[in-house]
A and B are shown apart, each in its own frame.
Chain A
Amino acid sequence: MERIRWIVAAFCVLLLLPIIRAVRREHVRVEYSMAWFAATLTLLVLSLWDTGLQWLAVALGVEDYPFVLMLVAGLLFLITFFRLTVEVSTLKDHNILLSQKVGMLDWEVRRQATRQDRGATRVRPR
């Protein structure tokens, strides 16, 4: 087996360890770890499974098997990064909305406090 496949297999095992550790310690949520597990395990299987890699190379019309491994790795991580970018964008939208609501609620609380200070008891309907 080519040296690059051993390197990829070893890298995948080394990558799995911090992923598992991060999930166990709740530094990474389980739903977000799925993409990393899927990508890493796919690469690990392909790097160790000679027949599978050859079949994929033939299917893709590529003669150099390790190149297929790199291609798959690149595609998997691109998909993973894209998914995370979508998640980050969604979280940013939520964060903006929350910040705006916090700012408006803070204004409302100060307004109510000022009214109470003035002794006003009737709240004007909106």
Chain B
Amino acid sequence: MPMDLSDKGLLILVPAFNEEGAVGQVIAAVHRVLPGTTMLVVDDGSVDETTAVAQAAGAQVIRLPHHLGLGGAVQTGYRFAFDHGYERVVRLDADGQHPPEEIPGLLAKMDEGPYDMVTGSRYLEANGYKTHALRRFGGRIFSIVLRPILGQRISDPTSGFIAVNRNALSVFSHSFPLEYPEIEALVVLRRKAMTFAETPVHMRPRIAGTSTIGRWSAVYYMVRVLLGVFVNVMKYEKRFHTRERVSH
């Protein structure tokens, strides 16, 4: 149910596509950890009851008229946050893999730098998180490719558990990759001379539904993302420019 947005500090963003089985529990969990924080679910053209479940759980819901893909849904949330004056956005997956208990850790890391973006990493510390071998291999390849481009090691480049500040919002609200956005987003930020860091987090198995990236589409995923990374590298026009801050 729409309501006043009185807290302009933090927005919890949850892109969702056919996640009626999990999104309600995710919203309830966030409300337990961060009561009073505004939650925005971007329903990316779901054909199930995702919108109704999210609204019933107390989240704001933006319903996209048709399916845009993860990047399009996330960017909608970033645009919304930027337009409405939010200072920070934490993005959670709607399938319940990202524990809200880790959100304060992400925000604390963001203040440490300060960093424009902080990613929750499953692999920064040994925490027993199990993932498919192909996914681990892909993540390893991306880490190797990204290291010279970003100038720093990224242990979990495919993580969608991300906190961004208003500087990053100013970039992402206008320029954000459409498909598989996490990795390209890092390169986009680097191109704009912004800073980012990782912090260790625990992740859980998804509550419901299946991953959008199957074993066969993983090959397309890798090629598509690598191409996107190289295209962004070619656009490094502001690589050595002074960092521009957004006035608050």
Contacts and interface: CB of A to CB of B under 8 A. Distances in A.
Interface of A: 96, 99-100, 102-104, 106-107, 110-111, 113-114, 124, 126
Contact of B178 (A96, A102, A110, A111): A96
Interface string B42-84: 1000000000000000001111111010001001100110011
- Dominant secondary structure at the A interface: helix
B76 A111 contact: no
B133 interface: no
Q: Which 9 A-B pairs have the closest CB atoms?
A: A111-B2, A103-B62, A100-B76, A103-B64, A110-B2, A114-B2, A107-B62, A102-B65, A96-B72
B223 interface: no
Contacts of A114: 1-3
Contacts, number: 46
B85 interface: yes
B4 interface: yes
* Residues of B in contact with A, size category: 20 to 34
Contact of B64 (A100, A110, A111, A124): A100
Most chain-B CB neighbours within 10 Å: which of A96, A100, A102, A106? Answer: A100
Interface of B: 1-4, 42, 60-66, 68, 72, 75-76, 79-80, 83-85, 178
A114 B60 CA distance: 12
Contact of A99 (B4, B66, B84): B66
Nearest to A111: B2
Given A96-B178, A110-B2, A111-B2, A104 B79 contact: yes
Given A104-B79, A107-B62, A126-B84, A96 B68 contact: yes
Contacts of B61: 107
